[in-house]
A = this chain, B = another copy of it.
């Protein structure tokens, strides 16, 4: 088995992009193939696979997103930004125009920004109940946020006080039958915050687009929702910007880079 790939990342959330304009990868992309591609030592290595598919005449592009464990996923905020970068660099779309990408979570509006970054409308984050997150026997209050996937946001005085995140933080209060992503966030003045994220099933990661949106929603709640609000969010892998528009939609903006292209052989 052998096929072409592109490797890219957004704030070090990284992806193997598989162009499949003629649909020939259908059938080949079994979960074990995705796992092999994403294996950081035995394969290319990535957080997930972005299969680039043609959709229909009105919305020509579909993002078939797979997690590194081979499972199908609905959406990925950094992923769709890297997906858009691929389309533009391959000459398949005009970056001077807005782009619509179809996903399992519905249509996503993508914008190529003047500063070279790429932005995507992530919809409306929905704040929920409170909970308690425990790390190394230390308890932190948390707020739950739904951004299509579940999050618990913990505001801390300093990210240093969180300590090592080798194992999943323990939480109670809100029920998450499928697990939850946990963000720790430190305010750094004005609209500037820094966050660390523990992704369910993965561990601590360099970046999480939906996590950044969840954090922005919690910050906006504290700031009295004087929309439009914009937050600069420092993640371990770079800097994201989340703007909350008057319609409460969160727009996730940041760099999206392609770093390699080639052929993978199993």
A residues whose Cβ falls under 8 Å from a Cβ of B: 5, 7, 9, 12-14, 40-45, 47, 164, 166, 206, 237, 257-266
- A237 nearest CB neighbor, chain B only: B41
A35 to chain B, nearest CB (A): 13
- A258 nearest CB neighbor, chain B only: B265
Beta-carbon contact of B40 and A40 below 8 Å: yes
A5 CB contacts on chain B under 8 angstroms: 260, 262
Q: Which of B45, B258, B264, B265 contacts A45 (CB 8 A)?
A: B45
A217 to chain B, nearest CB (A): 26
Q: Which of B9, B40, B47, B260 contacts A263 (CB 8 A)?
A: B260
List the 10 closest pairs (A to B, CB-CB), nearest first. Answer: A262-B262, A12-B41, A14-B41, A45-B45, A260-B264, A261-B262, A40-B40, A260-B262, A12-B42, A166-B166
A38 to chain B, nearest CB (A): 11
A76 to chain B, nearest CB (A): 14
A42 CB contacts on chain B under 8 angstroms: 9, 12, 14, 237, 257, 259
A265 CB contacts on chain B under 8 angstroms: 258-260
A239 to chain B, nearest CB (A): 14
A4 to chain B, nearest CB (A): 8
Known: A164-B166, A166-B164, A166-B166. A41 touches B9 (CB 8 A): yes
- Give Cα A257–Cα B9 distance, bound, in whole angstroms: 25
